[in-house]
Each structure stands twice: as structure tokens, then as C-alpha cells.
Structure 1
Amino acid sequence: MATIVCPACHEPARRIALRTVKALLTGAALRRLVPKDEFHFCASPDCDVVYFAPDQVFRVSDIRERVFQKDTASEAPVCYCFDWTRESLVAALHRGARPDEDIQEHVRLRRCACDLRNPQGACCLGNVRAVLADARQRS
């Protein structure tokens, strides 16, 4: 099976559910959507394409949420379900809290909606743990 790559940056992309794309597009972008295609998510931070299909491209400006992989600001969301930003994760870590364990417990209790809220259409725990690891390394 061939690897699907982003049409703009040519980085590998992963398939994403149409319901995630539809949930996160702005109204104007949703009006342009042709829902028959299979969509993919581009996680490359240097590319402004978020979702694409063979004849459709949706960019950062077409998305209702800030996209973690494409927004390096401290107030950018990392966990979309439980409102954790880079800044709040680092602050919690410095207070001795374990936000990753808190999020994991909510996931275990089936409270998350990552498939709809997170632009990558998947659980945020990997992103959360990467932010925390980076913060620990910088301390």
C-alpha cells in the first residue's frame, strides 16, 4: 500500500475520519467540502495544510480550532477535551501535578471525545506526554 503524502509539503499523512473533518471545518470551509473523498491529516508543523483529499485541501485558516502540531504558542491547545494548553501543562508540572495521569483517567472513564475535538482525530496523550517531556528536559 502506498504512503499518502501531503500535496503541499510531501510529508506522510494519516487517514482521518470524515466526521472529524466536518466537525472542525469553519462554516465557509464546510460549504466547500465534497464528502465523498477519503481525507488525510498533515501533522507537519511547517505546512499550513491540515486536511486533504485528492481534489480538496483545507488549511489552518479553514479550521475552527488551533491545531497543536501547527501552532507553537504557549496557549495553543494540546488536550482539546479537557482544556490543557502547553502553558497549563507546564505550570501543572511545576506544581508537582501529573496532568497526563489526570487525562489518562478521564480517557479510561470514556469521557474524551478526541475523535471529534482534536484536529488530528486521535487521542492527545502522545502530544501531552511530549510537551511534558520537553518541559522536564528544559528544567
Structure 2
Amino acid sequence: MLYSFSVTKEEQGCCTPQPKGKAACPECGEKAKGVLGKTVRHLLKDEAKSKLSYFDGFYYCKTTTCKVVYFRGDEILTQKDMRVVVGLKEGAKPATVCYCFEWSKEKIKAELEATGKTTALEDIKAKMENPGCSCEVLNPSGGCCLGDVSKAIKELELLG
């Protein structure tokens, strides 16, 4: 699935440091990392954005079984508020692991089944150089996807 969003020059790249600190998710209790306001602003549906006066201060819950995507105090945002499917959440289809270059668990699995290997990491690393990535605004975590892609490959190879 192709996600076509316009990304401004200042939003491009994944080099801006993520906010410091962690907070416990109000739903699952797991520690969540802070996420940049521009990430939240870019990925929320217009209806969800209209209910917020600002976008900074949110945390991203990466617990796969938790319904919460972002939270700030008593404000909770879930998949229904998102413009993209949050691929790391349980039952996500497609289970996207790289939002910049369209790698999903399904695509990796198909490549593994067809060829016995995957070029996902090599492809992503090459494309990070040219044309460049926009992880800060395309990835719900607001960070680089390489760790998530590596984890997905290992899981799929074990299932193989």
C-alpha cells in the first residue's frame, strides 16, 4: 500500500533527536518513548487533529497488544485516529515496518518464500542514502525503522 503524503524539507530525514524521557502507557502500563509533535501532526486524521490545540508532548506506545498509539496525560489516540495502519500493532494489515520505502511483514515473507532471503535491509539502507528517508513523519514511532525491520525478518525466518 502506497502512502502518499507531502513532506516538507524540514520534515524530511530522521536526524532530529527524539524527546527525552519515558512515560507509562495509561492502558498497558508499559514504558513509552516521547515522539515529536510533527510526527503526531503528520499522521493523524484531520478529525483527530481538530480536537488538539498542539501536538507536542505525546508518547508512542509500541506494545503490540495495546490499542493505544499515542497518549499525553489523559488524551489517548488509537488506530482510528491515524491516517496509516500502525504496522507493529497486533492484527495490523498491512503490517508495515518501513513506511518510507513500503516494506511490510507480508512483503518480506513473500520474498523469503520466493527466494529464501530478503533484500529489505539492503534496499532500505540504499534508499536512505538516495532519495533519503522521512522516518520522523512517516513512521508512527517517529524514529528509524531498521530495528523493527531486523526484528521482523528474524521473526519471519524463525517461522519459515
Scaled by the length of structure 2, the TM-score of the pair is 0.78
Kept after mapping to 1: 8 A contact 2:65/2:90: no
User: 2: CA distance between counterparts of 1:118 and 1:36?
Assistant: 16
Pick closer, same or farther for the CA change 1:36–1:69 going to 2, 3 Å: closer
Pick the structure with more helix per residue: 1
Q: Root-mean-square deviation (CA), in Å?
A: 2.0
1:129 aligns to what?
Answer: 150
**2:82 alignment partner in structure 1:** 63
Aligned ranges 1:1-139 → 2 under 5 Å: 3-35=22-54, 37-73=56-92, 75-94=94-113, 95=115, 96-109=117-130, 111-139=132-160
Structure 1 residues not aligned, in runs of 5+: none
Return the offset for 1:36. Answer: 6.4
Larger RCO (CA under 8 A, 6+ residues apart): 2
Unaligned runs of 5+ in 2: 1-19
C-alpha deviation, 1:101, in angstroms: 1.1
Q: Give TM-score scaled by structure 1 length.
A: 0.89
Letter in 1 for 2:155: D
- Give the paired residue count: 139
CA distance in 2, matches of 1:9, 1:53: 14
Residue 16 of structure 2 aligns with which residue?
A: none
Supply the distance in 2 between the matched residues of 1:83 and 1:8 (Cα, whole angstroms): 29
What do the CA deviations read for 1:72-92 (whole angstroms, capped 9, x no partner)?
Answer: 346321111111111111222
Checking the alignment, whether the CA contact within 8 Å between 1:11 and 1:44 is kept in structure 2 is yes
Distance between the aligned counterparts of 1:100 and 1:49, measured in 2?
28
